[in-house]
Amino acid sequence: MRAFDYAAPRSLDETFPLLADGRRVRFLAGGTDIIVQLREGRAECDLLVDLKRIPELRRIEIRPDGTLAIGAAVPCAEVYEHPEVRRRWPALVDAASLIGGIQIQSRASLGGNICNASPAADSVPALIVLGARLVLASARGERELPIEGFFRGPGQTVLQPGELLVRIEVPPLPPCSGARFLRFIPRNEMDIAVANAAAFLRLDDDGRIAQARVALGAVAPTPLLVAEAGELLAGQQPNDELFARAGELAAAAARPITDVRGSVLQRRHLARVLTVRALRGALARAQEGS
Amino acid sequence: MTTIERPRYQVIGTRPIRPDGVEKVTGRALYGADVRLPGTIYGRVLRSPHAHARILRIDTSAAERMPGVLAVVTHRDLPAVADGIQNLGETAVNVRELAANLLADDKVLYHGHAVAAVAAVSPHLAEEALGAITVEYEVLPPVLDVREAMREDAPLLDESRRTKNIAGQVVGERPSNIAMHHRFEAGDVEAAFAKASVVIEREFRTKMVHQGYIEPQNATAVWNQDGTVTIWTSTQGAFAVRGQVAELLRLPVSKVRVVPMEIGGGFGGKIPVYLEPLAALLSRKAGGRPVKMTMSRTEVFQATGPTSGTWIRVKAGADAEGRLLAVEAELCYEAGAFPGSSVNAGAMCMLAPYDVENFRIDTYDVVVNKPKTAAYRAPGAPAAAFAMESVVDELCRALKMDPLAFRLKNSSREGTRQVSGVPFPRIGHEECVRAAMESDHYRSPIEGPNRGRGVASGFWFNGGMQSTVLVAVNPDGTVNLIEGNTDIGGTRASLAMQLAEALGIPYEDVKPFVADTDSIGHNDVTGGSRTTFATGLAVYEAAMDIRRQMVARAARILNLPEEDLEYVDGGVQSKSDPSKRIGFKEIARQQARTGGPITGKASLVARGVGPAFSTQIVDVEVDPETGKVTILRYTVVQDAGRAIHPSYVEGQMQGGVAQGIGWALHEEYCYDEQGHLLNANFLDYRIPTALDLPPIETVIVEVPNPAHPFGVRGVGEVSIVPPLAAIANAIYDAIGVRFTDLPISPRRIVEALYGGKEG
Amino acid sequence: MPTVRLPALFRERCGGATAVTVEGSTLGEVLLALDRRCPGIFELLVEGGSIRPELAVAIDGETGSYLLDEPVPPGAEIAILPAIAGG
Ligand SMILES: Cc1cc2nc3c(=O)[nH]c(=O)nc-3n(C[C@H](O)[C@H](O)[C@H](O)COP(=O)(O)OP(=O)(O)OC[C@H]3O[C@@H](n4cnc5c(N)ncnc54)[C@H](O)[C@@H]3O)c2cc1C
């Protein structure tokens, strides 16, 4: 590990000047990715900026319009322990409560999970199907984009120098809808997803699927929104056969690699299996809600 | 369950709190990491990024010039040592190869092979200094797989290596990676196969796996101004460390003092030295400053342990009545970068549960560009049992015979010749199989789709070797038990209990203490399941020594002739008039007046080792969509001879099973084609977590070892032998797919069920 | 007289015999007597006056590291096997 400077600004206004002098900057939210990477020499920086002292990055807020706004440095445990989050966005709880164990969850943030940009990040498929938007800020101001547009490749995002993620905004779930996130790991804990998947379904009055979104992780260089699956499902009566076809589309959309955590065949196969299971889970939640 | 009636013991068979328990659960126990000496500096190791390369040049001058860097060592700093086998009790090592493993000589032979070591005033500085060392390599093609390495055109790790026989004589003409070939043979295998009505032949592969102890290797060393060296370290054998360090540094053993700290797991992996000699050399170069070294988890995986990857072919035949007629096998074990796998032990274990007259087993010890293997719990046996017990399962299916009935019918027993030709003493395999058949588990049906049951048996020799103990009686009637075996699995308790039983005093009155190498006679390692047995024998003899002295002291106090006195139930009494009696505590209190301190001792080479068997039953459920295997129920039956402390015996039984489950389902060293170890961390090298293991039910069988006063056999190792096959057999039962390669990971199951090839 | 059981790959030195019965009341005497029947075998097993460290000897089932003057009971069975290590 190389020596680096450390700063812990107390506001975004204090933060931006730190990012402007050309030093290689990394952020520290929960530190559960970055500290490991720095120690192992997989990441290097001149300045580590601790975000935990910036109040607006540590807030969870539900706006009057029902939008959930999660500060980028809020730890997972605060997300899944939030009673309204538990009630209204259970798919987010699926994901936040799977990231690491209790120690990790007490520090690890969704912002860090997203910005670390691992293809296997567990919060991302859930946030994709929930229609989450990211709010990025720099000295020049804020901009906003759908989460699926944030990733450029493993460890690579659209963040510009001097820019950081400040908030994740999740719209309210419409009536008669539900979402589910699932992952596959070889053990029952402490593993990185070999593949993961999330599904969202909104039903119309007849119980038909009005809208669907399917997202996958760990099967491509970035998390994937499988638009084809959503298109196939929309307007259809939900059933096993339909879900199986959606699973096929998900498998076809996957562009996995073989590495120590899984093979191409296994990941493509799991994309199908997890998509079907996530769809079933989303349907059950949508039907509960209606 | 007990197969032979148990004498009435006061202490043996009870479950008291371990003497080291409070210190350990309150965090007070001192481990290697807790060693903090004034002026300590920190050592780090530069490791090879290549699996196989010639070292053309090492330039350490820039690192040496860095302020705060106090010492740099390379292979040149090791005294030249010639080829020679040193017997470390449990392990015989070739000192030249040990030296070349410690710091690479002209070649690096695996990814992570140590090339240089640095000591600096801070660990960060030491690490930075590693970056300032230049090493020029000529990268060579690596050979990573045992079968590849055996080919005539394989890249050679050592051009001068020729295949040898077990006596160390060259038998091969050409240079080869096959370091040793041996054969175990008896009877007429071909004729027996001709009579068989079922013959099964299969090939099996297992990957290198690591012991996975939680505490990484560590050592602190001081090269004192008087030329002596003191080492504090985490080891299974302080005397083994002393012996190795003395050989490597060409010092008399008397100049090396090794202080064993508490140990956070070893499983065989903490017998060889890795850091101790480096810390000592760095300390000498740094003017005698204490040098502390601790491996990272990555280093532990890259450069310590593991056990062999293997290729095994087994052919076995049985007649229509289910008699095992003949077995033919080939065992090829990866030794790692230097010779010395446990292949012969594997061969000697695989047929041990059976009485089979005709066999031929060829063994090959093969070097590959991977870390030098170390002992791992019943070294060599699990892979061989995986192969044999899987084939037996197939034989049973072909014969439509209950797999435990088959094992009972063919079981070895007292007098059965092992493949080495040595007849078994009293053993308990039949009793284990019977206990398994009678267990609630085996009598309960297994039902439901994708669920299955498997069984397997396993064997381990257990060890004897050298032990010394000292016993000192305190004036308050307690006793100090001074021993030289580091306590890995509860041996303070099991030895204290034997002493309490033999003296007839309360367990709480025995205070065990693990001494350093200057404070007690030689003790071989805590390994080979030997300590409770062998050091227990020494404890028993030392207790008899104390008892004799107690009788003599009592004679003076009671004013009776010694011949009239006997030691009974923690006191001495008159044979003619048992009302004339004096208790242990009273004699202890008066020792100053009756002749001074009462101390007993015993030193011995333990004979009469009692071998161990285990039979295991496992139920699994396979998720056919994801390939995930859930262990529904697990029962381990094991012959303990006599369970001194049943909880710790059960702990050993469960611990071996837990490691076996990991080996069967998840654990493997993953390499890329260049020989880089890809999963040198606990994230991607998956040992089971608490959530991956069911409660493991234990059935202790007690067939006492006639050569031990309490009947003790070793219990530490055999439980890891059956799980690999038991689980593979259960998975076959569940989904009808026979896995012959380990681990049977979700990936392998999915690939087997859905195509096998990567699409 | 003691009987020595031979490892498979040493048997060719003894005309293929799996076991040979010879005179001797110590391990060393037995091995020298064996050497007269199977020339060269002593040197194979003994180095510098001791059994080679790679090998183990079992006398009547008791495996150990013996000196050559270890007494061998009449009718004893001696086996030669590879030394093994535990974990
Ligand atoms: C034992 C263990 C288990 C784990 N298990 C899982 C798991 O099951 N699933 C999973 O997905 N992950 C897992 N992880 C990875 C990690 O915990 C998660 O990715 C976590 O969410 C990261 O959040 P953090 O707050 O700790 O990020 P940090 O480590 O603080 O930061 C991660 C990266 O994001 C950048 N960053 C952080 N915040 C911002 C911001 N606001 N703007 C711009 N960039 C930012 C940092 O510069 C850094 O590069 C595990 C890690 C460990 C150590």
CATH code at position B76: 3.90.1170.50
Domain endpoint, select from B585, B606, B627 = B606
Q: Are residues B678 and B695 located together in one domain of the fold?
A: yes
Q: Give every strand in the sheet of B134-139, ordered side by side.
A: B107-108, B53-59, B134-139
Same domain for B726 and B650?
Answer: yes
Contact B379 C86 (CB under 8 A): yes
Are the C-beta atoms of residues B231 and B245 closer than 8 Å to each other? yes
- Looking at residue B417, what DSSP letter applies? B
Token pair listed for A128: 């994709």
Is residue C48 within 8 angstroms of chain B, CB to CB? no
Q: Does one domain contain both B418 and B531?
A: no
Contact between A202 and A177 under an 8 Å Cβ cutoff? The reply is yes
Q: What is the pLDDT of residues B570-592, one digit of tens each?
A: 999 999 999 999 999 999 999 99
- Whether the CB of A265 is below 8 Å from some CB of chain B: the reply is yes
> Is residue B598 within 8 Å of residue B550, measured between CB atoms?
yes
Residue B194 resides in a domain: no
CA-to-CA distance for B752 and C12, rounded, in angstroms? 46
Cβ of A48 less than 6 Å from ligand 1 = no
Instruction: Evaluate whether B52 touches B177 at the Cβ level (below 8 Å).
Output: no
Task: Return the pLDDT at A2.
Answer: 77
- The three-class DSSP label of residue B330 is strand
pLDDT tops 60 at residue B91? no
Residues 169-198 of A with CB under 8 A from B: 184, 186-192, 194
- Whether B281 and B389 map to the same domain: the answer is no
As a whole number, mean pLDDT of residues B191-208 equals: 98
Task: Note whether residue B184 is domain-resident.
Answer: no
Report pLDDT for A110: 98
Q: What is the pLDDT averaged over residues B151-160?
A: 97
Q: Is B736 exposed, middle or buried (0-12, 13-18, 19+ CB in 10 A)?
A: exposed
Q: Is the pLDDT of residue B255 over 70?
A: yes
Joined tokens for residue B742? 């380990």
Q: Quick one: B523 and B444 in the same domain?
A: no
Could you read off the pLDDT of B360-391 as tens digits, one per residue?
999 999 999 999 999 999 999 999 999 999 99
- A35–chain B nearest CA distance, Å: 15
Q: Is the peptide bond before B743 cis (omega within 30 degrees of 0)?
A: yes
Same domain? B134 vs B59: yes
Residue contact A269–B750, C-beta within 8 A: yes
Q: Distance of alpha carbon B292 from its chain centroid, rounded?
A: 26
Q: Are B251 and B384 part of one and the same domain? A: no
Q: Do C87 and B184 touch (CB under 8 A)?
A: no
The DSSP code sequence of B73-98 is EEGGGSPP--S-EEE-SS-EEEHHHH
Q: Say whether both B117 and B86 belong to one domain.
A: yes
The span from the CA of A204 to the CA of A235, in Å, is: 9
Summary count for chain B: helices (H), strands (E):
21, 30
What six digits make up the tokens of B168?
Answer: 């160390």
B406-440 pLDDT, tens per residue? 999 999 999 999 999 999 999 999 999 999 999 99
The CB of A98 under 6 Å from ligand 1? The reply is yes
Instruction: Report d(CA A218, CA A220) in Å as an integer.
Output: 6
- State the Cα–Cα distance between residues B539 and B499, nearest whole angstrom: 6
Do A157 and A149 touch, CB atoms closer than 8 A? no
- Residue B380: list chain C partners with CB under 8 A: 84
Tell me which residue of A81, A62, A83 sits closest to A169, measured CA to CA: A62
**Looking at residue B5, what is its pLDDT?**
60
Give the residue carrying structure tokens 């004096």. Answer: B582
Quickly list H helices, B504-580.
Answer: 536-558
Domain for residue B478, yes or no?
A: yes
pLDDT at A24 over 60: yes
Contact A266 B628 (CB under 8 A): no
pLDDT of B48 > 90? The answer is: yes
- How far are the Cα atoms of B73, B114, B282, B292, B312 from residue B132, in angstroms, in the given order? 13, 16, 17, 20, 45
Contact in structure between A96 and A105 (CB atoms under 8 Å): yes
Residues B679 and B552 in one domain: no
Q: Residue B164: which residues within 8 A CB-CB, separation 6 or more? A: B170, B171, B172, B179, B180, B181
| pLDDT at site B279 | 98
Assign B65 to helix, strand or coil.
helix
Residue B357 placed within a domain: no
Report residue B756's pLDDT band, with 50, 70 and 90 as the boundaries. low
Same domain, B385 and B470: no
Q: How far is CA B734 from CA B204, B721, B723, in A?
A: 20, 22, 16
- Give CA angle at B744 (B742, B749), nearest 5°: 135
- Model confidence pLDDT, tens digit, residues A89-127: 999 999 999 999 999 999 999 999 999 999 999 999 999
Domain boundary among B247, B279, B303: B303
Q: What is the pLDDT of residue B150?
A: 98
CA A257 to chain centre: 21
Contacts of B662 (CB under 8 A, 6+ apart): B209, B212, B686, B687, B688
* B683–A190 C-beta distance less than 8 A: yes
CA torsion through residues A74, A76, A77, A81, sign: positive
pLDDT value of residue C84: 84
With pLDDT > 70 as the criterion, what percentage of chain A qualifies? 99
Half-sphere exposure of A86 (CA within 13 A, CB side): 7
For position B3, what pLDDT does the model report? Answer: 46
Residue A218 pLDDT > 60, yes or no? yes
In a domain, B362, yes or no: no
Provide φ and ψ at B250, rounded to 5°. Answer: 55, 50
CB contacts, 8 Å: B683 with chain A: 190-192
Name the residue in chain B with its Cα closest to that of C63.
Answer: B607
CB B473 within 8 A of CB B598: yes
Do B536 and B511 lie in one domain? The reply is yes
Given a cut of 70, whether residue B273 has pLDDT beyond it is yes
Are B595 and B619 contained in the same domain?
Answer: no
Q: How confident is the model at residue B94 (pLDDT cuts 50, 70, 90)?
A: confident
Specify if B43 maps to a domain: yes
**Rounded Cα–Cα distance for residues B489 and B525 (Å):** 13
Percent of chain B with pLDDT over 70: 97
Mean pLDDT, to the nearest integer, of B513-528? 96
Helix axes B723-735, B646-665, angle to 10 degrees: 50
Name every chain A residue with its beta carbon within 8 A of the beta carbon of B124. 1, 3
The mean predicted confidence, pLDDT, of chain B is 96
Q: pLDDT category, B87, cuts 50, 70, 90? A: low
- The pTM of the full predicted model, rounded to 2 decimals, is 0.96
pLDDT at B86 over 80: no
Smallest CA–CA distance, residue B462 to chain C, in Å, is 7
CA distances B268 to A262, B526, B528, B554, B713, Å, are: 30, 9, 8, 45, 18
Which chains share 3+ C-beta pairs under 8 angstroms with C? B
Is B221 part of a structural domain of the chain? yes
At residue B631, the pLDDT reads: 98
Is residue C85 scored above 80 in pLDDT?
Answer: no
**A200 Cβ closer than 6 Å to some ligand 1 atom:** no
Instruction: Please check whether residue B339 is in contact with residue B406, taking contact to mean a CB–CB distance below 8 angstroms.
Output: no
Tell me, what CATH number does B678's domain have?
3.30.365.10
CB contact under 8 A, A1 and B124: yes
Kind plus residue range of the DSSP H or E element containing B599: strand B599-606
**Residues of C with Cβ-Cβ distance to B607 under 8 angstroms:** 62, 64
Where residue A58 falls (left for φ over 0; alpha for ψ -120 to 50; beta otherwise) is: alpha
Identify the domain containing residue B283 by its residue range.
Answer: 34-142+211-303
- When mean pLDDT is compared across B140-154, B343-357, B599-613, C33-47, the lowest value belongs to C33-47
Query: Into how many domains does chain B fold?
Result: 3
Q: What is the pLDDT of residue B7?
A: 77
Is residue B4 predicted with pLDDT exceeding 70?
no
* Structural domain boundaries in chain C: 3-82
- SS3 readout for chain A: CCCCEEECCCCHHHHHHHCCCCCCEEEECCCCCHHHHHHCCCCCCCEEEECCCCHHHHCEEECCCCCEEEECCCEHHHHHHCHHHHHHCHHHHHHHCCCCCHHHHCCCEHHHHHHCCCCCCCHHHHHHHCCCEEEEEECCEEEEEEHHHCEEECCEECCCCCCEEEEEEECCCCCCEEEEEEEECCCCCCCCCCEEEEEEEEECCCCCEEEEEEEEECCCCCCEECHHHHHHHCCCCCCHHHHHHHHHHHHHHCCCCCECCECHHHHHHHHHHHHHHHHHHHHHHHHHHC
Q: Please choose, from the candidates B485, B491, B486, the residue with its C-alpha nearest in 3D space to the C-alpha of residue B468.
A: B485
Cβ of residue B632 closer than 8 Å to a chain A Cβ: no
8 A C-beta contact, residue A97 and residue A76 = yes
What integer pLDDT is reported at residue B169 of this predicted model? 87
Residue nearest to atom 43 of ligand 1 (CA): A164
**Exposed/middle/buried for A186, CB within 10 Å: 0-12, 13-18, 19+?**
buried
**How far is residue A202's CA from residue A234's CA, in Å, rounded to a whole number?**
9
Helix (H, G, I), strand (E, B) or coil at B670: coil
Smallest Cα distance from A176 to chain B, Å: 29
CATH code for the structural domain at C3-82? 3.10.20.30
pLDDT interval class at B1 (50, 70, 90): very low
Q: How far, in Å, CA of B641 to CA of B712, rounded?
A: 5
Q: Find out whether C77 and C27 touch, Cβ atoms under 8 Å.
A: no
Mutate to test the pocket of ligand 1, among A15, A23, A32 (most ligand atoms within 8 A of CB): A32
Report ipTM for this prediction: 0.95
Give the separation between CA A74 and CA A68, rounded to whole angstroms: 13
Cα separation, B135 vs B49, in Å, equals 10
